[in-house]
């Protein structure tokens, strides 16, 4: 399988170590691209919800894939989030091609790009961390319930749906929080003179323009690998949103299986 070249890949909110993480899907995606730089924008490993007894092979394979990428020349910037905030104690650390930071500023074609996780805008994080952690555990339970309901729904031929997404979209406070988060990030980015601002944290993939009386900015959010399975890609000129598609990789897997089958058949005939 030929890998698609990318200049910069931004991933956030993967939450390795939790039941909700779509590690296998992420592996398929990572094995299909060849980025020069990977930015893990917070909550890569979920320290809050980490359990010693839950670490599937697929989660370890994600780590190995990223280590292999570094060995092959890819730089990885690990930007800390709230679920992996313990790494903020070492946020100036560099281990070869691995950089641990709290934020990152890039200059791309003369434009300044500001990248950080975004939990600094979360009031519950600042003043009531226990509430945020309780909400996180509740969210994980909701994801487990969602997996069960989707299994039953698919058996009945009705397809998948996201419980947490439906709840977020229907609760006015949640919608207002997302709007406030984005507006705060964009206003601050304009104030600081940035052309782009990239966040994670709220699990809402988006690319949008914004303008106020002081200027304009492009806001981007890379989403997550719990519900949306999205990433931001930069090809050297433009940013775009990647969305995982099962059908895309089913086709690739069928082609690879056919190639392997033909190779085996040819070896049998030759032998």
Task: Write out the two tokens for 116.
Answer: 């950080």
Q: What are phi and psi of 37, to 5 degrees?
A: -135, 135
Q: Which residue has the higher pLDDT, 231 or 128?
A: 231
**Which pLDDT band, with edges at 50, 70 and 90, does 270 fall under?**
very low
Q: Provide the percentage of residues in the chain whose pLDDT is more than 70.
A: 71
| Average predicted confidence (pLDDT) for the chain | 83
**Which pLDDT band, with edges at 50, 70 and 90, does 250 fall under?**
confident
pLDDT, residue 148, reads: 65
43-47, 61-65, 77-81, 152-156: range with lowest mean pLDDT: 152-156
Q: How many angstroms separate the CA atoms of 271 and 254, rounded?
A: 26
Query: For residue range 63-95, what is the model confidence (pLDDT) as tens digits?
Result: 999 999 999 999 999 999 998 889 999 999 999
Q: How many angstroms separate the CA atoms of 191 and 189, rounded?
A: 5
Q: How many other β-carbons are positioned within 10 Å of the β-carbon of residue 106?
A: 16
Task: Write out the two tokens for 38.
Answer: 């990977």
Q: Which residue has the higher pLDDT, 98 or 266?
A: 98
Residue 131 has pLDDT above 50, yes or no: no
pLDDT, residue 130, reads: 39
Rg of the chain over all Cα atoms, to the nearest angstrom: 20
- Indicate the pTM of the whole model: 0.77
Residue 134 has pLDDT above 60, yes or no: no
Q: Provide the percentage of residues in the chain whose pLDDT is more than 90.
A: 60
Q: Which residue has the higher pLDDT, 164 or 234?
A: 234
Residue found under tokens 């292999």 = 68
Query: For residue range 167-225, what is the model confidence (pLDDT) as tens digits?
Result: 455 444 555 667 889 999 999 999 999 999 999 999 999 999 999 999 999 999 999 99
pLDDT, residue 93, reads: 95
pLDDT, residue 48, reads: 78
pLDDT, residue 255, reads: 55
Please answer whether residues 232 and 10 qualify as being in contact, where contact means their C-beta atoms are separated by less than 8 angstroms: yes
Q: What are phi and psi of 180, to 5 degrees?
A: -65, -40
Task: Write out the two tokens for 14.
Answer: 């993967």
Query: For residue range 24-35, what is the model confidence (pLDDT) as tens digits?
Result: 999 999 999 999
* Alpha helices (H) along 72-200: 123-127, 129-155, 163-170, 172-191
How would you list the strands of the sheet with 75-79, edge to edge? 94-95, 98-101, 75-79, 33-41, 4-11, 230-234, 239-243
Packing angle, helices 129-155 and 163-170, rounded to 10: 120
Q: Which residue has the higher pLDDT, 177 or 111?
A: 111
Q: Which residue has the higher pLDDT, 130 or 202?
A: 202
Residue 100 has pLDDT above 80, yes or no: yes
């Amino acid at each position: 399988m030929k890998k698609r070249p990318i200049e910069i890949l931004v991933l956030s909110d993967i939450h390795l170590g939790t039941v909700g993480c779509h590690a296998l899907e992420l592996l398929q995606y990572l094995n299909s691209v060849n980025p020069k730089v990977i930015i893990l924008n917070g909550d890569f490993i979920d320290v809050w919800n980490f359990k010693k007894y839950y670490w599937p092979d697929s989660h370890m394979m994600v780590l190995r894939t990223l280590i292999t990428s570094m060995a092959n020349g890819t730089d990885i910037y690990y930007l800390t989030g709230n679920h992996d905030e313990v790494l903020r104690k070492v946020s100036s650390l560099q281990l070869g091609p691995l950089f641990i930071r709290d934020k990152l500023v890039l200059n791309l074609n003369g434009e300044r790009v500001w990248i950080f996780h975004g939990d600094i805008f979360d009031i519950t994080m600042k003043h009531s961390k226990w509430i945020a952690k309780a909400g996180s555990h509740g969210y994980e339970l909701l994801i487990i319930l969602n997996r069960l309901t989707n299994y039953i729904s698919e058996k009945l031929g009705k397809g998948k749906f996201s419980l947490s997404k439906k709840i977020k979209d229907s609760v006015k406070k949640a919608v207002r929080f997302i709007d406030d988060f984005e507006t705060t990030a964009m206003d601050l980015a304009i104030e600081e003179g940035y052309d782009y601002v990239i966040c994670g944290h709220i699990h809402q993939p988006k690319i949008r323009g914004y303008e106020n009386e002081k200027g304009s900015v492009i806001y981007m959010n890379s989403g997550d690998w719990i519900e949306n399975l999205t990433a931001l890609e930069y090809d050297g000129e433009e940013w775009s949103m990647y969305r995982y598609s099962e059908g895309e990789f089913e086709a690739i897997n069928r082609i690879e299986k056919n190639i392997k089958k033909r190779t085996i058949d040819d070896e049998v005939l030759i032998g």
